[in-house]
């Protein structure tokens, strides 16, 4: 058995975070080949934890353009579960891989010779210019893997609004060139599997709200022309196995709560074209679907909406739902024999520099090791030098302090002095019991230069030194200045205490009254707060505003419930205009619990209650 799954993950990073790891995400799908669309990753964002998992080989294509200000908005990735990446005969491991489908991308086949042969074979694309071919391959929307028995296309089809001529042209060229490639392979006798989000609902049964003009869409007509029942070469695998099943959807809009009532569309597909693998493939009873497709279905267990658990939609959700707005679709193949021994193609993620790094030579490795050793030695030397400098500076400062200054401690009412001239009486300036190294340490500390425009460090003496009186023209010794400053400081403290006492005794009654008035005014300014009446008035006014806002919201006709406001985001004459709609989740009109058809512009007059 060989299981193939297609899944628009709507952001691979988010799905990995939700699952816990890439391996857990892949394991939850339990398939041999897993095709992701809309991975929303640029090549620069690729890391091993996002693209590599044990037991899987991966192939990816990222967007190469930032059109319309968007980057990393598409992208596809194919993961193949294998037992061995080398000398393997497993069908899940591709024999070759190609990024894009025009053959023009640099990483298309990993070989210039093979790439040239492919371009020579694709003469059917002569009607398109080289630029047109590159444009359709620039958004990272296709990965091709050749599995021997079949060629697998992992495709993320572009979306185009009915009034967007530029995107309609892009989508038309995209599918037209893609179809040319399919026809080329089918003409060569190859089997072709196409999986992915094609952004096309083929029939009314595949759409929740198919209107009268639904069948006239050009892309739906193109899709139906591919099918065997309409003369084409492909089978719609899900419809072949479930021809009459209704309400079988794979996508639900996130901004309308449509998932709550299963109001979606089927745009994720698996197509298969070609003959069966049996020798009797020309018999009427033999076909690719009848002989090799055991089953195909939609994996609804991946839906975000869980009945009874998920909060109801009321103009939005109180909690964001985790998961993609799509669900996976799978196909289970049978009677698929092994193929010839082969290795993992060079396009695999294991070989790209962003994942595995660049290959190193022996010479570069030895040079890096030598440089690393030199850097290590330099760092050690630098750290030792910094440590020594700190010690030298500290010793020098202490030495200088001991030689030159007297440090005084002052308390209220007393003055005491401690003589720290440890080097006094030593002709060499050494501390008692010191060594000759002390002088060298001091000299080393003095050699440290100050940074430019930075004042030199202040000494202890400067804090006790009196500002010299230049008018007297005299100078004093350091010790005389310090003793004089000590006496002035003690005297000033005594004077301050005396003045404070006199002030208390001489304060008049009038002065005290003035001080009391000033203090009272200051307290009043600090503690002033809105009066209780002001608070009540403000609260009442705010309630009135809320009531007027509530009154301006109309009630819907179907449920008589307050509507929700929306804004037109589509470019046009009404862009940015607000309107009101029913706040319930979108669903079939036959269900009275779903959104009713109420609509009103915000500028129109509100309906009275």
Q: Which residues are catalytic?
A: 156, 197, 326
Place of tokens 């042969």: 117
Q: β-strand 96-99 against 76-81: which pairing, if any?
A: unpaired
Is 534 known as a binding-site position? no
SS3 state at 336: coil
> Whole-angstrom Cα distance, residue 326 to residue 34?
15
Is 326 known as a binding-site position? yes
Whole-number Cα distances in Å, 570 to 69, 70, 162, 325, 512: 16, 17, 12, 21, 75
Residue 214, C-beta contacts closer than 8 angstroms, at least 6 positions apart: 204, 207, 220
**Crossing angle, helix 437-446 and helix 362-404, to 10 degrees?**
100
SS3 state at 599: strand
Is 38 known as a binding-site position? yes
Is 437 known as a binding-site position? no
* Nearest residue to 431 (alpha-carbon basis) of 391, 390, 399: 399
The dihedral formed by the CA atoms of 114, 119, 122 and 124, expressed in degrees to the nearest 10: 180
Q: β-strand 76-81 against 56-61: which pairing, if any?
A: antiparallel
CB 564 within 8 A of CB 315: yes
Whole-number Cα distances in Å, 18 to 14, 22, 24, 93, 469: 6, 10, 10, 27, 78
The dihedral formed by the CA atoms of 158, 164, 169 and 171, expressed in degrees to the nearest 10: 10
Q: β-strand 33-37 against 2-8: which pairing, if any?
A: parallel
Residue 174, C-beta contacts closer than 8 angstroms, at least 6 positions apart: 136, 141, 157, 158
Is 244 known as a binding-site position? no
* Nearest residue to 233 (alpha-carbon basis) of 184, 266, 199, 171: 184
HSE value, Cβ hemisphere, 13 Å, CA-based, for 170: 18
> Whole-angstrom Cα distance, residue 280 to residue 277?
9
> Whole-angstrom Cα distance, residue 492 to residue 113?
98
> Whole-angstrom Cα distance, residue 3 to residue 305?
26
Is 557 known as a binding-site position? no
Question: Which residues carry a binding-site annotation?
Answer: 8, 38, 197, 199, 325-326
Question: Which residues carry a binding-site annotation for Mg(2+)?
Answer: 8, 38, 197, 199, 325-326
């Amino acid at each position: 058995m060989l299981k193939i799954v297609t899944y628009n993950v709507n952001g691979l990073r988010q799905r990995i975070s939700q699952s816990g790891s890439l391996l857990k995400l892949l394991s939850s799908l339990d398939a041999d080949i897993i095709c992701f669309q809309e991975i929303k990753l640029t090549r620069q964002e690729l890391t091993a934890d996002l693209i590599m998992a044990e037991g899987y080989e991966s192939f990816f294509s990222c967007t190469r353009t930032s059109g319309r200000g968007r980057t990393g908005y598409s992208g596809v990735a194919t993961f193949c579960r294998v037992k061995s990446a080398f000398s393997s005969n497993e069908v899940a491991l591709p024999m070759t891989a190609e990024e894009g489908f025009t053959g023009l991308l640099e990483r298309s086949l990993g070989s210039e010779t093979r790439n040239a042969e492919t371009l020579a074979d694709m003469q059917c694309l002569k009607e398109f210019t080289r630029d047109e071919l590159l444009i359709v391959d620039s958004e990272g929307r296709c990965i091709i893997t050749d599995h021997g028995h079949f060629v697998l296309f992992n495709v993320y089809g572009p979306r185009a609004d009915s009034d967007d001529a530029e995107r309609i042209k892009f989508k038309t060229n995209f599918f037209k060139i893609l179809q040319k490639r399919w026809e080329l392979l089918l003409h060569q006798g190859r089997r072709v599997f196409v999986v992915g989000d094609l952004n096309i609902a083929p029939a009314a049964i595949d759409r929740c709200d198919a209107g009268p003009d639904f069948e006239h869409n050009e892309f739906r007509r193109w899709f139906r022309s591919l099918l065997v029942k309409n003369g084409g070469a492909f089978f719609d695998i899900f419809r072949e196995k479930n021809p009459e099943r209704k309400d079988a959807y794979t996508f639900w809009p996130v901004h309308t709560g449509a998932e709550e009532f299963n109001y979606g569309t089927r745009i994720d597909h698996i197509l298969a074209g070609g003959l069966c693998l049996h020798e009797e493939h020309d018999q009427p009873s033999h076909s690719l679907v009848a002989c090799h497709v055991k089953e195909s279905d939609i994996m609804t267990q991946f839906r975000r909406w869980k009945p009874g658990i998920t909060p109801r939609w009321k103009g939005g959700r109180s909690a964001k739902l985790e998961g993609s707005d799509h669900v996976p679709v799978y196909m289970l193949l049978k009677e698929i024999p092994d193929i010839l021994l082969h290795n993992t193609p060079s396009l695999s993620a294991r070989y790209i520099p962003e994942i595995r790094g660049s290959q190193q030579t022996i010479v570069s490795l030895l040079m890096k090791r030598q440089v690393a050793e030199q850097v290590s030695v330099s760092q050690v030397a630098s750290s030792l030098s910094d440590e020594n400098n700190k010690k030298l500076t500290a010793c020098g400062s202490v030495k200088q302090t001991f030689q030159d200054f007297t440090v005084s401690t002052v308390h209220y009412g007393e003055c005491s002095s401690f003589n720290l001239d440890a080097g006094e009486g030593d002709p060499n300036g050494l501390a008692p019991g010191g060594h000759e190294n002390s002088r060298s340490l001091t000299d080393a500390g003095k050699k440290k230069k100050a940074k430019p425009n930075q004042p030199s460090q202040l000494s202890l003496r400067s804090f006790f030194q009196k500002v010299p009186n230049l008018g007297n023209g005299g100078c004093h010794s350091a010790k005389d200045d310090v003793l004089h400053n000590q006496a002035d400081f003690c005297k000033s403290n005594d004077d301050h205490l005396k003045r404070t006492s006199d002030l208390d005794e001489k304060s008049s009654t009038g002065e005290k009254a003035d001080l009391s008035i000033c203090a009272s005014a200051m307290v009043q300014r600090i503690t002033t707060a809105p009066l209780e009446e002001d608070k009540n008035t403000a609260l009442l006014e705010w309630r009135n505003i809320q009531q007027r806002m509530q009154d301006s919201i109309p009630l819907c006709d179907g449920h008589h419930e307050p509507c929700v406001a929306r804004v037109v985001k589509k470019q046009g004459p009404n862009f940015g205009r607000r309107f009101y709609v029913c706040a319930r989740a979108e669903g079939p009109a036959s269900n009275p619990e779903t959104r009713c058809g109420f609509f009103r512009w915000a500028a129109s007059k509100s309906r009275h209650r």
